[in-house]
Amino acid sequence: MQIVRDIPEMIALRSQSTRPIGLVPTMGALHLGHLSLVERARQENSCTVVSIFVNPTQFGPQEDYLKYPRDIDKDFALLDDHKVDILFTPDTTELYPAGFDTWIDVGQIANRLEGASRPGHFRGVATIVTKLLAIVKPDKAYFGQKDAQQVRIIERINTDLNLGVELIAMPTVREEDGLAMSSRNMQLDGKQRQAAVVLYRALKAAETMHGQGQNQASAIKKTMDSYIKGEPLATVDYISIA
């Protein structure tokens, strides 16, 4: 596995390659969800690039960027074991040099749901993903369906800016008890981790209601809201059914 830390080297490698390239953008602290994206990328491309960059511009003022889980040695070993071709791991000053002042604003799609709870979050996500797509110029890029709104925003960028990347959204990978795998799960203590499963139970309750013929989104959301609020450690930011 080749490790690339600066943008000019990554651009040069891409310009020299005629092979199909798949990109898996991550913030590290890798788990089986990330690795499912890597495996799909390897199946579909001659060259797989994984990026690791904890993006400070998508963290809000009440979110601790410095405490985001990091285990770069473990990540390197996992990616090497999975035969990734290139690991692109630039530092913050490489991607946001002095004087950087260009941002991607996707409009209303980024201002609702999670965007309403985390103002500015999706501007940071949109900007860094656009930069990574511009630097690596992949044929395909792989994302998890767990971050559904983020996927829609990236699709909008890809369409509106004519980037021409084929975007692949992969199913959510879950723990044995149903909790979606996430790097941030490492930040939960024992009680919080146990409580977090209520999200999956609320989703399963919604699935059951729909399977029994309930087609009123408001009724399903009310049931999900009750499930989640029944857990003392849980709060509801939003519930949306698409």
Q: What's the 3-state SS for 63-131?
A: CCHHHCCCCHHHHHHHHHHCCCCEEECCCHHHHCCCCCCCCCCCCHHHCCCHHHHCCCHHHHHHHHHHH
Q: Which of 34, 82, 121, 210 is an active site residue?
A: 34
Asked about 34 being catalytic, the answer comes back as yes
Q: What's the 3-state SS for 9-74?
A: HHHHHHHHCCCCEEEEEECCCCCHHHHHHHHHHHHHCCEEEEEECCCHHHCCCCCCHHHCCCCHHH
Q: Cite the active site residues.
A: 34
